[in-house]
Structure 1
Amino acid sequence: MASPTTIEAPAQSSIRVTCRENRSAANAAVQHIIKPFASLILRPGSGEPKGSPRLNPHKHAERICKIRESQTEDTWIYTFENPLESERRTPPAHKIYYFAGGGFRGVPEKEHWLLCAELSMKLPEYEINLVSYPLAPNSPASHSFAHLERLYDALAERSRKENFRVTLFGDSSGGNIVLVLGLYAASKYLQSPSGQCPVETIMAMCPATDLRNENPDIDVVDPRDPILSRKTTTEVAHGWKGELSLSDPRVSPILADLSAFRKAGIKVDGVTAGNDVLTPDAILFRKKLGECGVQGDWLDWEKQMHCFPLLFPFHVHEGTAGKDWILDVLRVNVKSGAK
C-alpha cells in the first residue's frame, strides 16, 4: 500500500490539519462486513440506572494493566496503572480523563478499555482514567451535566492542590461531552482567572458537534457510512437532549462561543473520518475553532469509518496509524506545554 499523503494546513492557521486519503483492502473489507450489522451497534435498550454506572473492566485490558476503581462526586473512575510504572516516584503532572462513546447510552466497549490500556503503556507522562458518566435514557443531558459539572469542579480543585494538568479525551458521543465539559472548564476559569486553567488540552475523536443534524452535506456521506446514519444520529440526539433544546450549546457545542478555549489557553485536537456522518459538522466546528484562534492539531482521513483508531486491536493499518497519530500529539502536548 502506498504511503499516506500528509498535507499540513498553512503555517499561520491556529489549527494544523493532517490530511490522509489512502485506504487498505483490509480496512475496506471491515467496513463492508460491519455495514449489515450497523443497526445493532446503537440499538436502544432499557438503559443504565440513573447516575454513573459501575463498570466491569474488560478482561483483556486487565491482562495489560492494573485497573483501579474509585469514586469522585458519585462518579465511578477507572485508573489504569502501567505495571512498568508501578514504582512511579513522582505523581503524574498530566492526567487523561477518557469519556467513551456509545450513543450517550452505552457503557464502554472492549475497544475503549484496550485504548486506555494502550495509552497507559505508551504514555508514561500521563495517568489514564476512564470516566463512567451518566447515560440516557435515564440520565439525559438535562440531568447529566449538573453531575458532570460537579465532577469537573472536584477534579479542578484536585489539580490545583496536586499540581497536575488535565486532558479531556472522548470519542463520538464522548467527544461531544469533552467539548462541552471543556467549555464549562474554560468559563469557570475565565470567571476568576488565576494561574493556568486545569484543562490543558482536549482530544475529540470523531465527535458529535451539532445535534441539530441539519447539515445538507450529511446526505452526501450517509450512503458511505458503514456504522451511523442521519436517522440513527437524529434518534440518538433526541434521546440525549432531555429537556434541553438541540440548539443548546450543552448538546451542540458548535453553537458555543469557542473563543473561550483560546482565552483559557485550552488546545483542542481531534480526528475526523471521511465515511462518517458526523464529519461534515465536525469540519465546520474545526474551522470555527480556527476562526477563533484556538490552537489544535487535527487528523482528517478520507474513506475511513467513524472512530477508526479504535480498530487498532484488530491490526487494521489505518486503525493503528490513527491511534499512533493521537499518541504522537499527546506526547508533543506534554513537551510543548500544549502551545
Structure 2
Amino acid sequence: MQIETCPISQRTWLMHTLQTFIRPFKPSLVKPPSNLEKKLEWSKTGSPRLSIPRPVKRKCVVTERLVEDVWLYDLDHKSSTPKKNGRILYFCGGGFQAPPSSQHWSFVVELSRRLPHLHLTIISYPLAPRTTASTAIPALLKVYHEISSQSQRASEDLHMCGDSSGGNIALTLTLHALSTKSEVTPKSIMLISPVVDCSNSNPDMKEVNTVDPVLSTGYTGDVAIKWRGDVSPSDPTISPVEGELSLLQDRNVMVNGIIGTWDVLAPDTIRLMDRLKEIGVEGKWWVGEGQMHCFPLAWRYGLSDSVKAKDWIIDVLKQSSK
C-alpha cells in the first residue's frame, strides 16, 4: 500500500481561513434539510427520486432508471466518446439522510468529463430515518447484482466510489458481494473521507473533535444511531472496518482513499488503512494533514488544496481503470 502524506505546512492560507470561518457553524452546515420527507418523491425502499440540476443536464446526458426499486442516474459527459471500458458506481455522502448536494453534482460531472472511458452511475440509496441499514443494504445488494451482471455482459470493469456515508456503503456492499463468489468482483474502490465505523467509539476522535471545522462527535454519533437502527454498532453491515477485509486481498480488489486529519472520522479510517496494510491489500492513500472532511468536494470554489485532491482522485481512478 502506498501512503502519501501532505504535511500541515502545505495547507494554503485560504483553506485555513475557510476552516476558521466555518468552525463556529459546525455541524449545521452538513445537517439535512428538515423538509426532505415532503419535498422528495420516494420509492418503496426509501430511495429518493433526484432532481437533476440544470448545469448537470447542460454538460451530461443523464439517464434515470429504477432498478430493484432504487433510483439510478447514469451520467455520460457530452464531450466523452461512446466507447467505454468500465463503470463507476458512485454513492454520495449526506449523513445517510440527504440526497446529493450541489457539491456532489459538480464533483461527479467533473469525474465524468475527466474519465471519458468510464460510465458513471449515481446510486440514490435509501435514506434514514425512513429506512435503516438492515433494510437498505439487502435492497442495494440486489441493485449491485443487477448492475454488475450488466457490466459483466458489456465487458466493463466495475469501480466503487463514495464519500463520507457513501464511502461506508461502497465498502460495505463490496464486502458483502465478495462473500458470494458468484458476484462480480469490483476492480477498485475509492473512499473519500469515509464512515467506516458506526460505533463512534474511537478514543482518538475526542482530540480531533477540537479542531474539526465541519463535523462533531455528537453529530456523527447521532447519524450512526439513525442509520443503524436495531443493528449492533460493531456489525460489519454498518461498520465495514470490522468486516472480512481479507476478502479484498483474496479477490485482488484495490482500495484507494483520501482523508484529512482534521476530520473526526479520520481515526477510524486510519485504523482501516492499518488493517488493509497488514492484510496486504493494494491501494493508494493520500493523508492531508490539517484538511477537513471531504475537502476534495470543495474544488469548485478554486481552493488549490481541494483542486489538487480532486485531481489526485481522478489520476488514481485512471490508473485503476487501465
Q: Tell me if structure 2 keeps the 8 A contact 1:47–1:137.
A: no
**How far apart are the structure 2 equivalents of 1:42 and 1:117?**
21
Equivalent residue for 2:169, pick from 156, 165, 177: 177
Aligned equivalent of 2:115: 123
The offset of 1:156, in angstroms, is: 2.0
Which residues of 2 match residues 178-327 of structure 1 at below 5 A? 178-189=170-181, 192=182, 197-327=184-314
Aligned equivalent of 1:18: 4
**How far apart are the structure 1 equivalents of 2:107 and 2:261?**
22
Q: Give the SS at the match of 1:199.
A: coil
Q: Tell me if structure 2 keeps the 8 A contact 1:47–1:138.
A: no
Q: Give the SS at the match of 2:98.
A: coil
**How far apart are the structure 1 equivalents of 2:139 and 2:125?**
9
Deviations 1:67-94 (Å, cap 9, x if unpaired)? 2212221111111121122x61x3x221
Between 1:262-271 and 1:54-63, the stretch displaced more is 54-63
Equivalent residue for 2:97, pick from 105, 130, 139: 105
The offset of 1:46, in angstroms, is: 6.0
The offset of 1:293, in angstroms, is: 1.1
Between Structure 1 and Structure 2, how many residues are aligned? 313
Q: Tell me if structure 1 keeps the 8 A contact 2:87–2:151.
A: no
Q: Give the SS at the match of 2:210.
A: helix
Q: Give the SS at the match of 1:304.
A: coil
Q: Tell me if structure 1 keeps the 8 A contact 2:185–2:251.
A: no
Aligned equivalent of 1:162: 154
Aligned equivalent of 1:54: 49
**How far apart are the structure 2 equivalents of 1:67 and 1:37?**
34
**Do structure 1's residue 35 and structure 2's residue 1 form an aligned pair?**
no
**How far apart are the structure 2 equivalents of 1:213 and 1:52?**
26
The offset of 1:257, in angstroms, is: 1.4
**How far apart are the structure 1 equivalents of 2:250 and 2:67?**
28
Structure 2 unpaired stretches of 5+ = none
Identity %: 37
One-letter code aligned to 1:18: E
Aligned equivalent of 2:63: 68
Relative to the length of structure 1, the TM-score reads 0.89
Q: Tell me if structure 1 keeps the 8 A contact 2:70–2:143.
A: yes
**Do structure 1's residue 134 and structure 2's residue 126 form an aligned pair?**
yes
**How far apart are the structure 2 equivalents of 1:278 and 1:39?**
13
Between 1:66-75 and 1:280-289, the stretch displaced more is 66-75
The offset of 1:47, in angstroms, is: 5.0
Post-superposition, which runs of at least 4 consecutive aligned residues in structure 1 deviate over 6 A? none
Aligned equivalent of 1:8: none
Relative to the length of structure 2, the TM-score reads 0.93
One-letter code aligned to 1:154: E
Structure 1 unpaired stretches of 5+ = 1-14
Q: Tell me if structure 2 keeps the 8 A contact 1:47–1:105.
A: no
**Over aligned residue pairs, what C-alpha RMSD do you find?**
1.5
One-letter code aligned to 1:241: R
Deviations 1:49-105 (Å, cap 9, x if unpaired)? 4521100112232332222212221111111121122x61x3x22100110000000
